[in-house]
Structure 1
Amino acid sequence: VAGLLGISYIGQDSKDIPHFLGETYGKFARRLDLSFNQLRSLAGLKMFTELEELVVDNNLLGNDLQLPRLPKLHTLTLNKNQISFEKNQLSLLGNEACPNQLVSLDKDDDDYQRYRYFVLYKLPQLKFLDSRKVTKKELMEAQARGAFMKVVKPKLEAVSYSENRPLPYTPLPQGSRDARNHKGVFAKCRYIYYGKHSEGNRFIRNDQL
Protein backbone atom coordinates (compact mmCIF):
# COMPACT_ATOMS: atom_id res chain seq x y z
CA VAL A 1 0.00 0.00 0.00
CA ALA A 2 1.52 3.30 -1.05
CA GLY A 3 0.90 6.61 0.66
CA LEU A 4 2.34 10.04 -0.10
CA LEU A 5 5.51 9.31 1.86
CA GLY A 6 5.14 5.79 3.28
CA ILE A 7 5.21 2.31 1.75
CA SER A 8 3.91 -0.83 3.47
CA TYR A 9 4.79 -4.30 2.19
CA ILE A 10 3.67 -6.46 5.10
CA GLY A 11 3.05 -10.21 5.44
CA GLN A 12 4.06 -11.24 1.92
CA ASP A 13 6.49 -14.02 3.02
CA SER A 14 9.17 -12.43 0.84
CA LYS A 15 12.76 -13.60 1.30
CA ASP A 16 14.14 -10.57 -0.51
CA ILE A 17 12.96 -7.02 -1.01
CA PRO A 18 11.15 -7.02 -4.39
CA HIS A 19 12.98 -5.06 -7.06
CA PHE A 20 9.80 -3.34 -8.21
CA LEU A 21 9.43 -1.62 -4.82
CA GLY A 22 12.69 0.23 -5.29
CA GLU A 23 12.04 1.03 -8.92
CA THR A 24 8.55 2.36 -8.26
CA TYR A 25 8.87 4.06 -4.86
CA GLY A 26 12.58 4.33 -4.05
CA LYS A 27 13.01 7.95 -5.05
CA PHE A 28 10.28 9.42 -2.87
CA ALA A 29 9.48 6.97 -0.03
CA ARG A 30 10.28 8.40 3.41
CA ARG A 31 8.99 5.43 5.44
CA LEU A 32 9.10 1.74 4.54
CA ASP A 33 7.45 -1.07 6.53
CA LEU A 34 8.55 -4.62 5.62
CA SER A 35 7.26 -6.39 8.73
CA PHE A 36 6.09 -10.03 8.84
CA ASN A 37 8.11 -11.30 5.89
CA GLN A 38 11.00 -13.78 5.73
CA LEU A 39 13.75 -11.34 4.87
CA ARG A 40 17.33 -12.46 5.43
CA SER A 41 18.91 -9.50 3.61
CA LEU A 42 18.24 -5.79 3.17
CA ALA A 43 20.35 -5.37 0.03
CA GLY A 44 17.28 -4.25 -1.93
CA LEU A 45 17.16 -1.01 0.07
CA LYS A 46 19.93 0.63 -1.95
CA MET A 47 17.35 2.21 -4.27
CA PHE A 48 15.52 3.92 -1.37
CA THR A 49 17.74 7.00 -1.32
CA GLU A 50 15.22 9.23 0.52
CA LEU A 51 14.33 6.75 3.28
CA GLU A 52 14.09 8.22 6.79
CA GLU A 53 12.33 5.42 8.70
CA LEU A 54 12.61 1.65 8.20
CA VAL A 55 10.56 -1.03 9.98
CA VAL A 56 11.61 -4.67 9.46
CA ASP A 57 10.02 -6.33 12.48
CA ASN A 58 9.25 -10.08 12.48
CA ASN A 59 11.72 -11.19 9.81
CA LEU A 60 14.72 -13.56 9.73
CA LEU A 61 17.53 -11.02 9.79
CA GLY A 62 20.64 -12.24 11.63
CA ASN A 63 24.03 -11.09 12.86
CA ASP A 64 25.35 -10.95 9.30
CA LEU A 65 22.96 -8.11 8.51
CA GLN A 66 24.46 -5.43 6.27
CA LEU A 67 22.58 -2.18 5.81
CA PRO A 68 23.10 -0.28 2.54
CA ARG A 69 24.09 3.36 2.79
CA LEU A 70 20.92 5.33 3.58
CA PRO A 71 22.08 8.92 4.22
CA LYS A 72 18.72 10.20 5.51
CA LEU A 73 17.74 7.26 7.72
CA HIS A 74 17.14 8.24 11.36
CA THR A 75 14.86 5.43 12.65
CA LEU A 76 15.46 1.69 12.30
CA THR A 77 13.21 -0.93 13.95
CA LEU A 78 14.42 -4.54 14.09
CA ASN A 79 12.08 -6.13 16.65
CA LYS A 80 11.69 -9.93 16.60
CA ASN A 81 14.42 -10.98 14.22
CA GLN A 82 17.32 -13.40 14.76
CA ILE A 83 19.94 -10.88 15.83
CA SER A 84 21.72 -12.02 18.96
CA PHE A 85 24.51 -9.40 19.15
CA GLU A 86 26.76 -12.00 20.78
CA LYS A 87 29.72 -9.72 20.11
CA ASN A 88 27.77 -6.54 20.92
CA GLN A 89 29.08 -4.77 17.84
CA LEU A 90 27.80 -1.76 15.93
CA SER A 91 29.46 -0.14 12.94
CA LEU A 92 28.23 3.07 11.32
CA LEU A 93 31.34 3.95 9.35
CA GLY A 94 30.62 5.74 6.10
CA ASN A 95 27.27 7.12 7.29
CA GLU A 96 26.55 10.79 7.97
CA ALA A 97 25.66 9.87 11.55
CA CYS A 98 29.30 8.88 12.07
CA PRO A 99 31.35 12.11 11.84
CA ASN A 100 34.75 11.27 10.42
CA GLN A 101 36.76 12.09 7.32
CA LEU A 102 35.08 9.30 5.37
CA VAL A 103 31.96 11.46 5.45
CA SER A 104 33.29 15.01 5.55
CA LEU A 105 36.75 16.57 5.49
CA ASP A 106 35.73 19.19 8.07
CA LYS A 107 35.30 16.53 10.78
CA ASP A 108 38.12 15.67 13.19
CA ASP A 109 38.93 13.23 15.99
CA ASP A 110 37.06 15.33 18.56
CA ASP A 111 33.86 15.16 16.51
CA TYR A 112 34.23 11.40 16.25
CA GLN A 113 34.85 10.98 19.98
CA ARG A 114 31.75 13.01 20.84
CA TYR A 115 29.78 10.74 18.52
CA ARG A 116 31.15 7.67 20.34
CA TYR A 117 30.17 9.07 23.75
CA PHE A 118 26.63 9.76 22.55
CA VAL A 119 26.18 6.30 20.98
CA LEU A 120 27.59 4.56 24.06
CA TYR A 121 25.28 6.59 26.28
CA LYS A 122 22.36 5.24 24.27
CA LEU A 123 23.78 1.69 23.87
CA PRO A 124 25.98 1.01 26.93
CA GLN A 125 26.04 -2.76 26.24
CA LEU A 126 28.23 -2.33 23.15
CA LYS A 127 31.68 -3.94 23.27
CA PHE A 128 32.80 -2.70 19.85
CA LEU A 129 31.77 0.51 18.11
CA ASP A 130 32.79 0.81 14.47
CA SER A 131 36.24 -0.78 14.29
CA ARG A 132 37.36 0.01 17.85
CA LYS A 133 36.86 -1.72 21.18
CA VAL A 134 34.93 0.17 23.85
CA THR A 135 37.09 0.84 26.91
CA LYS A 136 35.88 1.08 30.51
CA LYS A 137 37.05 4.69 30.72
CA GLU A 138 35.20 5.56 27.54
CA LEU A 139 32.02 3.93 28.84
CA MET A 140 32.27 5.89 32.12
CA GLU A 141 32.67 9.14 30.20
CA ALA A 142 29.69 8.24 28.03
CA GLN A 143 27.47 7.66 31.04
CA ALA A 144 28.64 10.90 32.68
CA ARG A 145 28.29 13.29 29.75
CA GLY A 146 27.25 11.36 26.67
CA ALA A 147 23.72 12.78 26.80
CA PHE A 148 25.12 16.24 26.02
CA MET A 149 27.25 15.17 23.06
CA LYS A 150 24.61 15.36 20.36
CA VAL A 151 25.33 18.42 18.26
CA VAL A 152 22.31 20.33 17.04
CA LYS A 153 22.85 23.15 14.58
CA PRO A 154 20.31 25.99 14.68
CA LYS A 155 18.50 26.79 11.49
CA LEU A 156 19.49 30.26 10.34
CA GLU A 157 16.94 32.30 8.45
CA ALA A 158 18.22 35.07 6.24
CA VAL A 159 16.58 38.42 7.10
CA SER A 160 17.07 41.48 4.93
CA TYR A 161 16.23 45.04 5.89
CA SER A 162 15.63 47.91 3.51
CA GLU A 163 16.32 51.57 4.21
CA ASN A 164 12.60 52.25 4.66
CA ARG A 165 12.04 49.31 7.01
CA PRO A 166 12.85 49.95 10.72
CA LEU A 167 15.14 47.59 12.55
CA PRO A 168 13.36 45.14 14.89
CA TYR A 169 15.35 46.30 17.93
CA THR A 170 16.41 49.63 19.34
CA PRO A 171 17.98 50.38 22.75
CA LEU A 172 15.76 53.44 23.14
CA PRO A 173 12.44 53.20 25.02
CA GLN A 174 9.25 53.33 22.95
CA GLY A 175 8.42 56.88 24.06
CA SER A 176 11.71 58.40 22.88
CA ARG A 177 12.10 56.79 19.44
CA ASP A 178 10.20 59.55 17.60
CA ALA A 179 12.01 62.90 17.78
CA ARG A 180 8.75 64.74 16.89
CA ASN A 181 6.84 63.16 19.75
CA HIS A 182 9.36 63.06 22.55
CA LYS A 183 8.26 61.90 25.99
CA GLY A 184 10.12 61.57 29.24
CA VAL A 185 10.78 58.08 30.45
CA PHE A 186 11.21 56.90 34.02
CA ALA A 187 13.29 53.81 34.62
CA LYS A 188 15.49 52.17 37.24
CA CYS A 189 19.22 52.65 37.10
CA ARG A 190 21.75 50.20 38.46
CA TYR A 191 24.12 53.00 39.58
CA ILE A 192 23.48 55.32 42.59
CA TYR A 193 25.48 58.49 43.17
CA TYR A 194 25.92 59.61 46.77
CA GLY A 195 28.29 62.60 46.24
CA LYS A 196 27.72 66.18 47.43
CA HIS A 197 26.41 67.17 44.01
CA SER A 198 23.66 64.58 43.98
CA GLU A 199 20.11 65.61 43.06
CA GLY A 200 18.99 65.47 46.70
CA ASN A 201 21.77 67.73 48.01
CA ARG A 202 21.07 70.43 45.42
CA PHE A 203 17.85 71.40 47.27
CA ILE A 204 19.07 71.20 50.91
CA ARG A 205 20.45 74.39 52.47
CA ASN A 206 23.16 74.47 55.10
CA ASP A 207 20.75 75.69 57.82
CA GLN A 208 18.62 72.56 57.23
CA LEU A 209 21.47 70.16 58.01
Structure 2
Amino acid sequence: MSEEQPEPVPVGDNLSIVGRGYTTIPVTFGRQYGAKIKNLDLSHNKLENLDNINMFANLKSLILDNNELTENVEFPDFYQLDTLCINNNKIADLRIVLDRIKRAAPNLRYLSLLKNPACPNRLIGMEDDDYSRYRLYVIWRIPNLKFLDATPVTPKEKDEALRRGEFCLPAATTEIVATAARIEGQMGATDELTQSVPQSSTHFGVCQYYYQGKQSEGNRFIRNQNL
Protein backbone atom coordinates (compact mmCIF):
# COMPACT_ATOMS: atom_id res chain seq x y z
CA MET A 1 0.00 0.00 0.00
CA SER A 2 1.59 3.30 -1.11
CA GLU A 3 1.93 6.20 1.27
CA GLU A 4 -0.17 9.28 0.64
CA GLN A 5 1.88 12.16 -0.72
CA PRO A 6 2.27 15.14 1.61
CA GLU A 7 0.53 18.36 0.63
CA PRO A 8 2.80 20.63 -1.46
CA VAL A 9 4.08 23.62 0.49
CA PRO A 10 6.34 26.45 -0.66
CA VAL A 11 10.04 26.59 0.11
CA GLY A 12 10.71 30.30 0.10
CA ASP A 13 9.25 31.56 -3.17
CA ASN A 14 9.44 28.11 -4.82
CA LEU A 15 6.50 25.71 -5.11
CA SER A 16 6.74 22.16 -6.50
CA ILE A 17 3.49 20.38 -7.40
CA VAL A 18 4.98 17.37 -9.16
CA GLY A 19 3.48 13.99 -10.05
CA ARG A 20 -0.03 14.59 -8.69
CA GLY A 21 -1.99 13.55 -11.74
CA TYR A 22 -3.78 16.90 -12.02
CA THR A 23 -5.51 17.71 -15.31
CA THR A 24 -6.10 21.30 -14.14
CA ILE A 25 -4.21 23.38 -11.57
CA PRO A 26 -6.24 23.29 -8.34
CA VAL A 27 -7.51 26.75 -7.45
CA THR A 28 -6.65 26.18 -3.77
CA PHE A 29 -2.90 26.42 -4.48
CA GLY A 30 -3.36 29.74 -6.23
CA ARG A 31 -5.42 31.15 -3.39
CA GLN A 32 -2.98 29.98 -0.72
CA TYR A 33 0.36 30.68 -2.34
CA GLY A 34 -0.08 32.42 -5.68
CA ALA A 35 0.93 35.94 -4.68
CA LYS A 36 4.33 34.99 -3.26
CA ILE A 37 5.46 32.22 -5.63
CA LYS A 38 8.10 33.12 -8.22
CA ASN A 39 9.21 29.63 -9.28
CA LEU A 40 6.55 26.99 -9.98
CA ASP A 41 7.16 23.36 -11.00
CA LEU A 42 4.09 21.52 -12.33
CA SER A 43 5.92 18.71 -14.12
CA HIS A 44 4.77 15.07 -14.30
CA ASN A 45 1.06 15.81 -14.06
CA LYS A 46 -1.65 15.42 -16.71
CA LEU A 47 -2.37 19.08 -17.31
CA GLU A 48 -4.54 19.73 -20.34
CA ASN A 49 -4.81 23.47 -19.74
CA LEU A 50 -3.39 26.23 -17.55
CA ASP A 51 -6.62 27.31 -15.91
CA ASN A 52 -5.92 29.12 -12.61
CA ILE A 53 -2.24 29.78 -13.49
CA ASN A 54 -3.11 33.50 -13.60
CA MET A 55 -3.30 33.38 -9.80
CA PHE A 56 0.49 33.01 -9.84
CA ALA A 57 0.98 36.52 -11.17
CA ASN A 58 4.63 37.01 -10.16
CA LEU A 59 6.23 33.97 -11.75
CA LYS A 60 9.79 34.15 -13.00
CA SER A 61 10.14 30.43 -13.74
CA LEU A 62 7.48 27.94 -14.85
CA ILE A 63 8.16 24.22 -15.42
CA LEU A 64 5.43 22.29 -17.30
CA ASP A 65 7.35 19.22 -18.44
CA ASN A 66 5.64 15.86 -18.95
CA ASN A 67 2.03 17.00 -19.20
CA GLU A 68 -0.69 16.89 -21.89
CA LEU A 69 -0.50 20.47 -23.17
CA THR A 70 -0.94 21.29 -26.86
CA GLU A 71 -0.09 24.36 -28.92
CA ASN A 72 -3.52 25.75 -28.00
CA VAL A 73 -2.55 26.25 -24.36
CA GLU A 74 -3.64 29.66 -23.08
CA PHE A 75 -1.00 31.68 -21.23
CA PRO A 76 -1.93 34.75 -19.19
CA ASP A 77 0.30 37.83 -19.22
CA PHE A 78 3.60 36.86 -17.58
CA TYR A 79 5.70 40.01 -17.88
CA GLN A 80 8.19 38.82 -15.26
CA LEU A 81 8.58 35.30 -16.66
CA ASP A 82 12.21 34.56 -17.47
CA THR A 83 12.20 30.75 -17.77
CA LEU A 84 9.68 28.40 -19.39
CA CYS A 85 10.02 24.63 -19.86
CA ILE A 86 7.34 22.69 -21.77
CA ASN A 87 9.30 19.56 -22.59
CA ASN A 88 7.53 16.33 -23.49
CA ASN A 89 4.01 17.62 -24.05
CA LYS A 90 1.78 17.40 -27.16
CA ILE A 91 2.71 20.57 -29.01
CA ALA A 92 2.33 19.90 -32.74
CA ASP A 93 2.28 23.42 -34.22
CA LEU A 94 5.32 25.53 -33.44
CA ARG A 95 3.89 28.72 -34.93
CA ILE A 96 0.85 28.78 -32.67
CA VAL A 97 2.66 28.05 -29.43
CA LEU A 98 5.45 30.56 -30.12
CA ASP A 99 2.86 33.26 -30.88
CA ARG A 100 1.24 32.61 -27.52
CA ILE A 101 4.51 32.46 -25.62
CA LYS A 102 5.89 35.64 -27.17
CA ARG A 103 2.69 37.57 -26.51
CA ALA A 104 2.36 36.38 -22.91
CA ALA A 105 6.02 36.49 -21.84
CA PRO A 106 7.88 39.27 -23.69
CA ASN A 107 10.84 39.10 -21.30
CA LEU A 108 11.47 35.36 -21.66
CA ARG A 109 15.15 34.37 -21.81
CA TYR A 110 15.18 30.58 -21.24
CA LEU A 111 12.90 28.27 -23.23
CA SER A 112 12.89 24.48 -23.58
CA LEU A 113 10.55 22.55 -25.91
CA LEU A 114 12.27 19.18 -26.23
CA LYS A 115 10.32 16.04 -27.09
CA ASN A 116 7.25 17.73 -28.53
CA PRO A 117 5.97 16.51 -31.93
CA ALA A 118 6.59 19.95 -33.46
CA CYS A 119 10.22 20.06 -32.39
CA PRO A 120 12.81 17.96 -34.22
CA ASN A 121 15.75 17.15 -32.01
CA ARG A 122 18.62 14.76 -31.76
CA LEU A 123 17.09 12.97 -28.78
CA ILE A 124 14.60 11.25 -31.10
CA GLY A 125 17.04 10.61 -33.93
CA MET A 126 16.34 13.58 -36.19
CA GLU A 127 19.15 14.97 -38.32
CA ASP A 128 21.29 17.80 -37.00
CA ASP A 129 20.20 20.03 -39.89
CA ASP A 130 16.52 19.68 -38.91
CA TYR A 131 17.31 20.68 -35.36
CA SER A 132 19.48 23.61 -36.48
CA ARG A 133 16.68 24.93 -38.67
CA TYR A 134 14.23 24.58 -35.79
CA ARG A 135 16.56 26.60 -33.56
CA LEU A 136 16.86 29.37 -36.15
CA TYR A 137 13.09 29.60 -36.48
CA VAL A 138 12.51 29.81 -32.71
CA ILE A 139 15.29 32.39 -32.28
CA TRP A 140 13.82 34.44 -35.12
CA ARG A 141 10.43 34.38 -33.42
CA ILE A 142 11.78 35.11 -29.92
CA PRO A 143 15.04 37.02 -30.50
CA ASN A 144 15.69 37.80 -26.82
CA LEU A 145 16.32 34.16 -25.90
CA LYS A 146 19.62 33.34 -24.20
CA PHE A 147 19.03 29.58 -24.00
CA LEU A 148 16.96 27.29 -26.21
CA ASP A 149 16.56 23.74 -24.95
CA ALA A 150 19.91 22.68 -23.45
CA THR A 151 22.12 25.05 -25.44
CA PRO A 152 23.02 28.76 -25.27
CA VAL A 153 21.91 30.91 -28.19
CA THR A 154 25.10 32.06 -29.92
CA PRO A 155 25.74 35.39 -31.68
CA LYS A 156 26.19 33.42 -34.93
CA GLU A 157 22.75 31.82 -34.51
CA LYS A 158 21.19 35.22 -33.86
CA ASP A 159 22.71 36.63 -37.04
CA GLU A 160 21.65 33.58 -39.04
CA ALA A 161 18.13 33.67 -37.57
CA LEU A 162 17.78 37.32 -38.54
CA ARG A 163 18.87 36.46 -42.08
CA ARG A 164 16.82 33.32 -42.79
CA GLY A 165 15.00 32.18 -39.65
CA GLU A 166 11.62 33.07 -41.13
CA PHE A 167 12.08 30.30 -43.70
CA CYS A 168 13.24 27.59 -41.29
CA LEU A 169 9.92 26.43 -39.84
CA PRO A 170 10.18 22.64 -39.42
CA ALA A 171 7.30 20.45 -40.58
CA ALA A 172 5.40 18.67 -37.81
CA THR A 173 5.20 15.44 -39.78
CA THR A 174 3.81 12.05 -38.88
CA GLU A 175 7.38 10.77 -39.17
CA ILE A 176 8.47 12.88 -36.21
CA VAL A 177 5.52 11.72 -34.12
CA ALA A 178 6.06 8.09 -35.13
CA THR A 179 9.78 8.23 -34.33
CA ALA A 180 9.10 9.62 -30.87
CA ALA A 181 6.40 7.01 -30.23
CA ARG A 182 8.65 4.18 -31.37
CA ILE A 183 11.48 5.21 -29.07
CA GLU A 184 9.06 5.67 -26.17
CA GLY A 185 7.74 2.18 -26.88
CA GLN A 186 11.25 0.72 -26.87
CA MET A 187 11.80 2.22 -23.41
CA GLY A 188 8.56 0.53 -22.35
CA ALA A 189 8.67 -1.68 -19.32
CA THR A 190 12.06 -0.43 -18.15
CA ASP A 191 10.63 3.04 -17.70
CA GLU A 192 7.55 2.05 -15.72
CA LEU A 193 9.45 2.13 -12.47
CA THR A 194 11.02 5.47 -13.38
CA GLN A 195 7.63 6.95 -14.25
CA SER A 196 5.93 5.70 -11.10
CA VAL A 197 8.00 8.07 -8.97
CA PRO A 198 8.76 11.38 -10.74
CA GLN A 199 12.51 11.96 -10.64
CA SER A 200 12.46 15.70 -10.86
CA SER A 201 15.12 17.92 -9.42
CA THR A 202 14.71 21.64 -9.88
CA HIS A 203 17.09 24.29 -8.70
CA PHE A 204 15.91 27.84 -9.18
CA GLY A 205 17.85 31.08 -9.33
CA VAL A 206 21.34 30.79 -10.76
CA CYS A 207 20.72 27.20 -11.46
CA GLN A 208 20.97 23.91 -13.15
CA TYR A 209 17.64 22.38 -14.09
CA TYR A 210 17.71 18.66 -14.71
CA TYR A 211 16.08 15.38 -13.92
CA GLN A 212 17.36 11.85 -14.06
CA GLY A 213 15.92 8.63 -15.45
CA LYS A 214 15.49 6.75 -18.70
CA GLN A 215 13.21 9.43 -20.15
CA SER A 216 15.38 12.32 -19.14
CA GLU A 217 16.09 14.99 -21.72
CA GLY A 218 19.26 15.57 -19.72
CA ASN A 219 20.19 19.06 -18.68
CA ARG A 220 17.32 21.27 -19.88
CA PHE A 221 19.60 24.21 -19.68
CA ILE A 222 22.41 25.37 -17.48
CA ARG A 223 22.20 28.94 -16.39
CA ASN A 224 25.49 30.49 -15.46
CA GLN A 225 26.11 34.18 -14.86
CA ASN A 226 29.47 33.82 -16.59
CA LEU A 227 28.04 32.54 -19.89
Which has the larger helix fraction?
Answer: 2
For CA contacts below 8 A with separation 6 or more, give which structure has more relative contact order.
2
- TM-score of the two chains, using structure 1 as the length reference: 0.47
Larger radius of gyration: 1
